[in-house]
Amino acid sequence: MPNKEMLLIPGPTPVVDEIYEALASETYAHTDPRVVKIFKNSLSLTKRLFNTDGEVFVVAGSGTLAMEMALINTVAPGEKLLVISHGYFGDRFIPIAKAFGIQVESLQAEWGKHIQKELVEEKLAEGGFKAVTVTHVDTSTGVMAHIEELIPVVKKAGALFILDGVCAAAAIDEDMQKTYGHPDYKLDVVLTGSQKAIGVPPGLGIVAFGPKALAAREAMAKVPGYYLDIKNWISIMNDPGKYFATPPVNMIYAFNKGMEIVMAEGLNNRYRRHAALGQAVRAGLKVYGMKPLAAEEAAAPTLSCIVYPEGVNDVEFRSRLAAKGMVIAGALASLAGKAFRIGHMGNVTEEMFVKAIELVGETLKEMGLEANMEAAVEEFKKVYHSV
């Protein structure tokens, strides 16, 4: 089944045929050795993706469930959490924490900017924070956190570093054994969903716990959850032939295929491709007078939030594009109507974005604006091949 649409929203991202074929394979018993083998393989590839010496958990659910799983297994009710927020998805940790009685405080970036480490240092100096959450790429703003600056600050303060990688994993390096200036300065938890840069349909929450995060769970007598308690899952993830709760068998087939595609491309190649794509898409659109919300040093490889030039009606622009088979997303909160969001992650190609740049130009022209399509495509290609 070929993709009929160019789904360039911040997830789900385009699903390639091989993944659809895997998804449509026969549903066997969840304990059938053929399923167990595929599940095991997908878990070992997930460990490779995050390069973790801890444990990975792949469960039915979405990215939000993965966020919840990360929190309740590391921070107990009554303990303190600091949320570093670069927008809508960073903020989402606040109600999650509150739902579990976690004492939560937050640092809010101005939309489009990233939070400076000095501010975090100052806040953590108040003491007592068990963990800090950071959203790698905030899908509302297209801002990428500077984790290389934040990790040392958070770890020096003795807190766990929890990274929401939903809009980043498999497109931006999230190596959990990489150290940032000291052997202990590492990521502790990274989480994602199946439908963003991994390029699989929505349906799976994926969480990796490093040794310090696993120790934090061990130190808690209980957690306010059952399905989300990683202690109920550890033996399953080590032997998927065991039963705790029925895994979504067909989604596991699809996820395994998705992870094989990621590894066949190679992680470094994939990271480089996304870095190039992000810069090139923004450069191409700039030719049309469309400006990214985030400055290039804070802009994400996976997704861009682009401010409309004067005189473009958001709903009309996006519906015209949708009629041509290209789907993008509106902006959120105070940016609604003033900007759009375009995903450039997962199993997408250069050809797709040449087409996308052309369609945007065509649409602007239809709406009575000027658009130099040749120049925009040329700029896109030039930047794409120079990164």
Ligand X SMILES: *Cc1c(COP(=O)(O)O)cnc(C)c1O
Closer Cβ to ligand X, 167 or 359, answer by number? 167
Residue from 72, 167, 170, 189 binding ligand X (CB under 6 A): 167
Q: How far is the CB of 132 from ligand X (least distance, A)?
A: 16
Q: How far is the CB of 137 from ligand X (least distance, A)?
A: 6
Please choose, out of 43-51, 141-149, 160-168, 326-334, the segment that lies near ligand X by the rule CB under 6 A: 160-168
Which strands make up the sheet holding 339-343, listed edge to edge? 291-292, 303-307, 339-343, 329-330
The footprint of ligand X on residues 310-349 (CB under 6 A) is none
The footprint of ligand X on residues 34-63 (CB under 6 A) is 62-63
Residue from 7, 8, 11, 199 binding ligand X (CB under 6 A): 11
- Non-local (6+) Cβ contacts of 153 within 8 A are 117, 120, 121, 124
**Treating both helix axes as pointing N-terminal to C-terminal, what angle do 314-323 and 350-366 enclose, rounded to 10 degrees?**
120
Closer Cβ to ligand X, 11 or 292, answer by number? 11
The footprint of ligand X on residues 272-311 (CB under 6 A) is none
Task: Check residue 103 for interaction with ligand X (CB under 6 A).
Answer: no
Which strands make up the sheet holding 160-164, listed edge to edge? 55-60, 204-209, 189-193, 160-164, 129-135, 80-85, 103-108
Residue from 193, 199, 247, 248 binding ligand X (CB under 6 A): 193
CA 88 to CA 169: how far, in whole Å? 18
Please choose, out of 25-33, 118-126, 163-171, 215-223, the segment that lies near ligand X by the rule CB under 6 A: 163-171
Check residue 299 and report its DSSP letter. Answer: B
Residue from 42, 139, 279, 304 binding ligand X (CB under 6 A): 139
Closer Cβ to ligand X, 35 or 191, answer by number? 191
Q: How far is the CB of 135 from ligand X (least distance, A)?
A: 5
Contacts 24+ apart (CB under 8 A), 214-222: 214/54, 214/55, 216/73, 216/74, 216/130, 216/131, 216/160, 217/73, 217/74, 220/73, 220/76
Q: How far is the CB of 358 from ligand X (least distance, A)?
A: 27
Q: How far is the CB of 2 from ligand X (least distance, A)?
A: 25
Instruction: Please choose, from the candidates 174, 115, 126, the residue with its C-alpha nearest in 3D space to the C-alpha of residue 150.
Output: 115
Q: What is the DSSP string of 265-282?
A: H-HHHHHHHHHHHHHHHH
Contact residues toward ligand X (CB under 6 A) are 10-11, 62-64, 89, 135, 139, 164, 166-167, 193, 202
